[in-house]
């Protein structure tokens, strides 16, 4: 595996791979790898001749009061894990390589970025995500890009960018990877002390309760809220939304997402479940 720092190096390597007839898979990440990231790398490895993993803590998607300065970073550990999964290129640029002096362009996706995490974290968040992902697509020119379904809203934003800008890349959303107790794997889980770690399991238990209520024809949101209340978690949001448009829904006629975000201890955590619609 090669660790590359510059756009020119990555483009040259991708050009050579494509000339040799290889497909290119991209896994965009901010590092602090866990099993969720590794599952994306495995999917990319199975399906492509060249696998590129980007490792870049993107400053433009963090607000001033968020955890940019403390976000977990360990490039040596991440590089070893990526190499163990058969990754070909780890693209680990400095911020100035991605955002040089005079950088003045922002990608904004209207509508679906203004709710849920967009409302909680501010409009800068998904503008930063959309902009850096568009840049990575331009740099790597992947055939397929792999994202985790835990960040369901992010997946929808990226799909909209690809559709609206006619980008020639397929977006593959891979299943959420969970700890044995159900907690969705996240780089921010390292912020949790023992008590907060135990409390955090209520997020997935709340979604499980809502899923069970949906299958039995009972009210969905109250079932989830009851679990959160019992655990003493005050959610930033707990909402049922259409799985494609993120419009609020009250009944699951089409596939819907039940999404939750909450601060637990020192961590802000998100999770979601897909609820299957009755008319499929």
On whether 61 is known to bind a ligand per the annotation, the reply is yes
Spot the catalytic one: 37, 125, 214, 273.
37
On whether 35 is known to bind a ligand per the annotation, the reply is yes
On whether 36 is known to bind a ligand per the annotation, the reply is yes
Quick one: which of 155, 145, 81, 142 has its CA closest to 113? Answer: 155
31: left (phi over 0), alpha (psi -120 to 50) or beta: left
On whether 187 is known to bind a ligand per the annotation, the reply is yes
Distance CA 48, CA 24 (A): 6
**Angle in degrees, CA 256, 148, 275, rounded to 5:** 15
On whether 1 is known to bind a ligand per the annotation, the reply is no
Contact (CB, 8 A) for 243 and 257: yes
On whether 41 is known to bind a ligand per the annotation, the reply is no
Phi and psi torsions of 171, nearest 5°:
-100, 120
- What order do you get walking across the sheet with 235-242 strand by strand? 235-242, 256-264, 267-275
Radius of gyration of the chain (CA): 19
Q: Has 37 been annotated as catalytic?
A: yes
The SS3 of residue 158 is helix
On whether 265 is known to bind a ligand per the annotation, the reply is no
On whether 34 is known to bind a ligand per the annotation, the reply is yes
**Angle in degrees, CA 139, 145, 147, rounded to 5:** 125
Contact (CB, 8 A) for 26 and 63: no
Distance CA 184, CA 171 (A): 21
| Annotated binding-site ranges | 30-37, 61, 148-151, 154, 177, 185-188
Q: Binding site for (R)-pantoate, residues?
A: 61, 154
Please state the residue numbers annotated as binding site for beta-alanine: 61
Tell me the catalytic residues.
37
């Amino acid at each position: 595996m090669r660790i590359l720092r510059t756009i020119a190096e990555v483009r040259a390597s991708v050009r050579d791979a494509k000339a040799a007839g290889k497909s290119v898979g991209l896994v965009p990440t901010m590092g602090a790898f866990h099993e969720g990231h590794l599952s994306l790398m495995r999917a990319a490895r199975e399906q492509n001749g060249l696998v590129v993993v980007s490792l870049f803590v993107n400053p433009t998607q963090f607000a001033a009061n968020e955890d940019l300065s403390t976000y977990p970073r360990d490039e040596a550990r991440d590089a070893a894990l990526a190499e163990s999964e058969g990754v070909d290129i780890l693209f680990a640029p400095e911020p100035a390589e991605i955002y040089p002096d005079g950088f003045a362009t922002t990608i904004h996706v209207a509508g679906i970025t203004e709710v849920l995490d967009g409302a909680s974290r501010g409009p800068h968040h998904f503008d930063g995500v959309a902009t850096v992902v568009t840049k990575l697509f331009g740099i790597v020119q992947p055939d397929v890009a792999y994202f985790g379904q835990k960040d369901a809203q992010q997946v929808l934003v990226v799909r909209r960018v690809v559709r609206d800008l006619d980008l020639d890349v397929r977006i593959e959303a891979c299943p959420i990877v969970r700890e044995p107790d159900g907690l969705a794997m996240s780089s921010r889980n390292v912020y949790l002390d023992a008590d907060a770690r135990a409390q955090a399991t209520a997020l997935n238990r709340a979604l499980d309760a809502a899923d069970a209520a949906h299958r039995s024809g009972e009210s969905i949101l109250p079932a989830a809220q009851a679990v959160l209340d019992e655990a003493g978690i005050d959610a930033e949001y707990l909402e049922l939304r259409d799985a494609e448009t993120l419009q609020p829904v009250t009944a699951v006629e089409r596939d819907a997402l039940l999404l939750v975000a909450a601060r637990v201890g020192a961590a802000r955590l998100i999770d979601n479940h897909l609820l299957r619609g009755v008319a499929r």
